Amino acid sequence: MEGQPEVALAGRPILAIQMVSPAYFRTLRVALRQGREFTEADNAEAPLVAVVNETLVRRFWPHDNPIGKHLLLGRMVKSAEVVGVAADVNNLSLAAAPEAEVYLSFPQRPWASMNLILRTAGDPHNWAAAARAAVAAVDRDQPVTAVNSMEEVLETSTAQQRFSVFLLSVFSVTALVLAAVGLYGAIAYSVAERTQEMGIRIALGATARDILRMIVGQGLVLALAGLAIGTMAALPLTRLMSGLLFQVSAADPAAFAGSVLLFAAIAALASYLPARRAIRVDPTEALRYE
């Protein structure tokens, strides 16, 4: 990198390198922050040029204008001049921060294999035959394989994470149902055991609202105590899930707040249903209950 100390080949930084043709950035809609993209004039006879991403600029030229700077890649004898700065893209994976990247003009640095990228107005698979015909017109012995839409490429790259999230979702819903059923069963049993107490309270003038408030309140107190303990236990355990998250903190406040509110609502409902039955207790029958 121009302006950086010269080091031996083995000590040079590792960068992502792409060999692309003109219109690559427009096809993938990668914004250019400075300078220009490659043109047909950037051929094998023209001076070597390169486009770099924003991460590379922040790393090596944070206070300089990168346009016009030179860099020497690998065993290249001549350096390439930076003519453009492209916006960062997730060049390793969707869950990893962008790495420093250099784009070279394909005619100036041809590679043994390539990916052909087409932007279509409709279903990309409808254009596969036309793409094969165009390639065959240039070289009929050149095979075209692994035809995929960008959506399919993204789905494949995130298949493992989506499966893991699916399993976690199933376990989470199961745990939620078990917690709701358990809470309802515990409160319903408690109310059934206190039938005489409910009858006495009603006989002494307690209103339906008083009974509802008491039973629901007791259920919420138990639920909130459990939520407090569960939240404190979950904070360190969520770090185990950090590898499944993208641009979301493992201790995301919104997620924790939403979980607490959801469980509190379930606890209120699970307490309300037994309480509704308790207020229908006939005091006379309840006092004879053993």
pLDDT of 285 reads: 63
With a cut of 90, say whether residue 162 has pLDDT above it. no
165 and 79 belong to one structural domain: no
Domains of the chain: total: 2
The answer to whether residue 193 sits within a structural domain is: yes
79 and 180 belong to one structural domain: no
Tokens found for residue 123:
């279903």
99 and 180 belong to one structural domain: no
Q: What is the mean pLDDT of residues 132-152?
A: 89
With a cut of 70, say whether residue 245 has pLDDT above it. no
The answer to whether residue 86 sits within a structural domain is: yes
With a cut of 80, say whether residue 244 has pLDDT above it. no
61 and 173 belong to one structural domain: no
102 and 198 belong to one structural domain: no
The answer to whether residue 59 sits within a structural domain is: yes
Q: How many CA atoms lie within 13 A of 93 on its CB side?
A: 14
In angstroms, how far is the first alpha carbon of the chain from the final one? 89
Residue carrying structure tokens 């185990």: 240
The domain boundary, picked from 114, 147, 171, lies at 114
97 and 182 belong to one structural domain: no
- Long-range CB pairs of 136-145 (<8 Å, 24+ gap) are 144/116
Q: What is the mean pLDDT of residues 96-125?
A: 88
* pLDDT tens string 4-62: 787 777 777 888 899 999 999 999 999 999 999 999 999 999 999 999 999 999 999 99
**Which of 78-87, 148-157, 244-253 is modeled with the greatest confidence?**
78-87
pLDDT band for position 243 (50/70/90)?
A: low
pLDDT of 67 reads: 95
- Long-range CB pairs of 276-280 (<8 Å, 24+ gap) are 276/212, 277/191, 278/191, 278/194, 278/195, 278/198, 278/211, 278/215, 279/198, 279/202, 279/208, 279/211, 279/212
The answer to whether residue 233 sits within a structural domain is: yes
203 and 84 belong to one structural domain: no
162 and 276 belong to one structural domain: yes
The answer to whether residue 214 sits within a structural domain is: yes
Domain hosting residue 193, numbered range: 158-287
Q: What share of the chain is helix, strand, coil (3-state, %, to 5)?
A: 50, 10, 40
109 and 205 belong to one structural domain: no
Counted residue by residue, the chain has a size of 290
167 and 268 belong to one structural domain: yes
Q: Which of 6-10, 124-128, 142-146, 164-168 has the lowest mean pLDDT?
A: 6-10
167 and 283 belong to one structural domain: yes
DSSP state, residue 80: E
* pLDDT tens string 172-217: 889 888 887 887 888 778 777 777 777 777 778 888 788 888 888 8
The answer to whether residue 122 sits within a structural domain is: no
- Rounded to a whole number, what is the largest CA-CA distance in the chain? 104
The whole-angstrom separation of Cα 234 and Cα 240 is: 10
- DSSP, collapsed to helix, strand or coil, labels residue 51 as strand
